Amino acid sequence: ALTGKLAARVDVAESLALRGALSTGFRAPSLNQAWFNNVSTQYVIDPGTNELIPAQVLTSNNQDPVTRAFGVPKLAEEKSMNLSGGLIWRPTESWSVTGDLYWIGIRDRIVLTSRFSDGDPSIGADVASILAPFQDYGIGQAQFFANAVDTRTLGVDLVANWATSWRGGLLSLTTSVNLTSTEVTDINVPVSMAEKFSSGSLEDVKAVLFNREERNRLETALPRTSGHLGVDYSRNRFRLGLGANYFGKVLYRPTNPANDEDFGGKVLLDVDLGWQLRDGLRLEAGANNLLNTFPDRHRKAANLGSGNFPYSRRVTQFGMNGGFYFLRLAFDLSG
């Protein structure tokens, strides 16, 4: 693959500079994407009852005859185009501000496809015939890694830093905001797959290859908005760090729109205290997610799975482990 990058920076004033870059890139398939094999029990929505039920799902590697039987070709590299531009501003010795806009286009992005099911009315008969040798194991669905989609990402990064001397120590403030939006611009149905499942329309095959829920994973399963505000103060042997992290809302969009749910934005607080006991020995205490904040819970019965899944398994903001509190003694043996 031939790639290139063009970057420039222009100082328009003593305290202001502009920068920009244009580049192309590629990423070869990873070992996991090419060779992963697995039979897993996944909880999926039964279209008849709208309830979560266990299903045996086969994930076959890219070289497997089963993968070829479904019309999935050999994995190719992903190709990308990246465009960015921004500014660096230092209005005073204490302040620095950066802002960047970026656009990233990825072609032939490797993703895990949706599940091909023998119960799908549009292509189920063909799926059942391919998976017939696995019926004794209860396997009625299959999925694969494939160069299935093209995506476009737009984003903004803003970062500001301020530092000053205060009461004999150093006080610093950091704040940042990120806005990011990823969109699936095209679903790439391989010719071999379209021919294999010709009993259904091309749109039916697209819906199976990369369905509504898989699109959700790329577009709205992670926060499009996030922010950070941090304060740090150090004096002699003492240090205190406080941080607030904002994670914007996420959307859950499963195959059945009746089960759609939104989960609101949250703020997590962190604290970190440090005391230098002597040279090479430091005592630290603190907390990540000090207030033990959790994401919103599922509200719809179909997503709860009889109460087994109070928090979403498909979309995430910051996990569901709650607060983490620590006390540690750090040794520096380098001296």
* Residue 150 or residue 44, greater confidence: 150
Q: How far apart are CA 237 and CA 177, in angstroms?
A: 31
* pLDDT of 200 higher than 70: no
- pLDDT single digits (tens) 83-113: 999 999 999 989 999 999 999 999 999 999 9
C-alpha span between 151 and 109 (Å, rounded):
7
> Would you say 108 and 79 are in contact if contact means Cβ atoms under 8 Å apart?
yes
Q: Indicate if the pLDDT at residue 179 is higher than 80.
A: yes
CA 311 to chain centre: 17
Residue entry with tokens 């497997």:
64
- Return the closest-CA partner of residue 285 out of 298, 275, 297, 300: 275
Report for 43-57, 104-118, 298-312: range of highest mean pLDDT:
104-118
Tell me what the mean pLDDT of segment 109-127 comes to. Answer: 85
Using one digit for the tens of pLDDT, what is the confidence trace for 268-288?
A: 999 999 999 988 899 999 999
What 3-state DSSP class applies to 188? coil
Strand partners, 288: 324
pTM: 0.87
Return the amino acid letter for 175: T
Return the higher-pLDDT residue of 119 and 258: 258
pLDDT of residue 158: 97
pLDDT above 90 for 51: no
User: What pLDDT is attached to residue 198?
Assistant: 63
Q: Are 142 and 173 in contact (CB under 8 A)?
A: no
Q: Which pLDDT does position 53 carry in this prediction?
A: 87
pLDDT at 295 exceeding the cut of 80: yes
Give kind and range of the element (H or E) at residue 202: helix 202-209
Percent of the chain scoring above 70 in pLDDT: 99
Of all residues in the chain, what percent carry a pLDDT higher than 90? Answer: 74
> What pairs with residue 178 in β-bridges?
157, 226
pLDDT at position 308, please? 85
Residue range 250-273: average pLDDT? 95
**What is the rounded average pLDDT for all residues in the chain?**
92
Residue 266, H or E segment: strand 266-278
Q: How many residues does the chain have?
A: 335
**Residue type present at position 322:** G
Q: How far apart are CA 313 and CA 55, in angstroms?
A: 16
pLDDT surpasses 70 at 152? yes
What pLDDT is attached to residue 64? 94
Nearest to 295 by CA among 308, 306, 309: 309
Q: What is the mean pLDDT of residues 195-221?
A: 85
* Residue pLDDT, tens place only, 242-255: 999 999 999 999 98
Pick 327 or 166 by higher pLDDT.
Answer: 327
Could you tell me the two tokens for 269? 């607080």
- Distance from C-alpha of 21 to C-alpha of 104, rounded to nearest angstrom: 12
| Whole-angstrom distance, CA of residue 231 vs CA of residue 244 | 9
Residue 199 has pLDDT above 70, yes or no: no
Which among 305, 326, 322 has a CA at the least distance from the CA of 314? 305
Place of tokens 């949706």: 114
| pLDDT of 195 above 90 | no
- pLDDT of 246 reads 98
Q: Is pLDDT above 80 for 201?
A: no
